[in-house]
């Protein structure tokens, strides 16, 4: 019996070692790659395709003229002629309701034209009446021009295409010494004069 028990024990031990050895070999094999890693490898080609379309768009946009032709400049001038000057109260630079209405006239059309020519500039000029010092009126004219510019930007005209200049009291449209004349000189005027 001892030989039989020893033989059975040896066979059982050999079977356990064989089974244990097989498990180690199966466990030692690398696991299959997860699906997430495989889909992540397809992402870089999609990213490389996107930037290649940008140079085409830039090249297309750079072929457009940056300044309007003579016909478009004439159309801009027609719009500016219809936009009446914005007038201001004495010693003030706040935009009055009547000035808001004047500046808003045809501003949408002007905005659409200017967006087609991003380097083309308009000038908002500020003026004052003859009362006060030259320095004071230059500062007040600049404040009036800036207020008018801010209002136009609020209407959609690109700020980068509007510059301001003050002429103070140096360029009056009326030279009589009365309130009616002074009111005509307290204004903001838009021009396409280029410098």
Measured distance CA(148)–CA(120) in Å, rounded: 18
pLDDT digits (tens, 9 = 90+) for 22-79: 444 444 444 444 444 443 333 333 433 434 333 333 334 556 677 888 998 898 888 8
Q: CB atoms < 10 A from the CB of 68, how many?
A: 17
Please name the residue that has the structure tokens 């320095």: 135
Which residues have a Cβ under 8 Å from the Cβ of 143 and sit 6 or more positions away?
93, 126
pTM over 0.85: no
Report DSSP letters for 53-71, one per residue: HHHHHHHHHHTS-SS--HH
Domains observed in the chain: 2-62 (no CATH), 70-191 (3.30.1330.60)
In the predicted structure, residue 102 carries a pLDDT above the cut 70: yes
């Amino acid at each position: 019996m001892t030989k039989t028990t020893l033989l059975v024990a040896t066979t059982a031990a050999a079977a356990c070692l064989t089974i244990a050895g097989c498990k180690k070999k199966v466990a030692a094999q690398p696991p299959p790659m997860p699906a997430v890693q495989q889909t992540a490898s397809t992402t870089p080609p999609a990213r490389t395709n996107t930037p290649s379309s940008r140079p085409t768009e830039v090249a297309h946009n750079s072929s457009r003229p940056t300044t309007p032709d003579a016909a478009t400049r004439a159309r801009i001038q027609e719009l500016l002629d219809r936009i009446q000057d914005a007038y201001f109260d004495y010693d003030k630079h706040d935009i009055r309701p009547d000035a808001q209405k004047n500046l808003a006239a045809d501003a949408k059309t002007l905005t659409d034209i200017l967006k087609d020519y991003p380097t083309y500039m308009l000038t908002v000029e500020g003026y004052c009446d003859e009362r006060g010092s030259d320095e004071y009126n230059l500062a007040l004219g600049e404040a009036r021009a800036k207020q008018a510019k801010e209002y136009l930007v609020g209407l959609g005209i690109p700020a980068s295409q509007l510059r301001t200049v003050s002429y103070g009291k140096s360029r009056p449209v009326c030279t009589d010494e009365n309130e009616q004349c002074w009111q005509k000189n307290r204004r903001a005027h838009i021009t396409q004069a280029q410098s």
